[in-house]
Structure 1
Amino acid sequence: MRGLSTAQADDVRQALRAAERRSGLRFGLFLGPPAGGRRHFAERLHAALGDEAPDAVVVLVDVGGRALEIVTGERARRRLPDGACRLTAMSMATAFGAGDLVGGLLYGIAALGEQATVRG
């Protein structure tokens, strides 16, 4: 994962797997600048998941562009409504703004997995 040490990338992968196990949803993370508009790019990444897309959550973080997008599939959205994603994104952005990229990622992934479990 671009911009992370090997240990940090391993921690983030472990958090993604834990969120998947906990919620039953598919989680993906893109860390880096999007090709084109960030929302459109995040939606394309999500659509590329094919049959898994309805139950998937994709988080795009462009640190350099100070951008964050969370895209949820149709079934995932029932468990992670826009308001819950927005609150999580705000907390992640606060951590990023304080220079804590990894902490923000770990918090956000865990929070989304937890919220999807509570609502599931």
Structure 2
Amino acid sequence: MKNAFEDIYEVVRLIPYGKVSTYGEIAAYLGNKRAARMVGWAMCASHGDSSIPAHRVVNRNGLLSGKAFFGGNLMQELLEQEGIVVENNKIQNFKAHLWIPSKELL
């Protein structure tokens, strides 16, 4: 059996440029909608691996809740480079940028 973090990373790598997903949506896609915190732990553990776009994973309200783990404003800067507007640590027009794996990966 594969490591749970590796399963999470596989899904996160599929989030398209200019889109974001949530901890909960990723957990639900992997079969346990209550495992959102595990997705967060995986994102925290992924720092340093540039193949995992952890900056594209936010909370269910579009808040950059993982921002502290990036240091400074790096998470926001990376999202803005992809055309996503962030104000007060929150993605503007969040639903337009939301990528839901259970709908997209049928």
The structure where helix makes up a greater share of residues is 1
- Judging by fraction of residues, say which structure has more strand: 1
TM-score (norm 2): 0.33
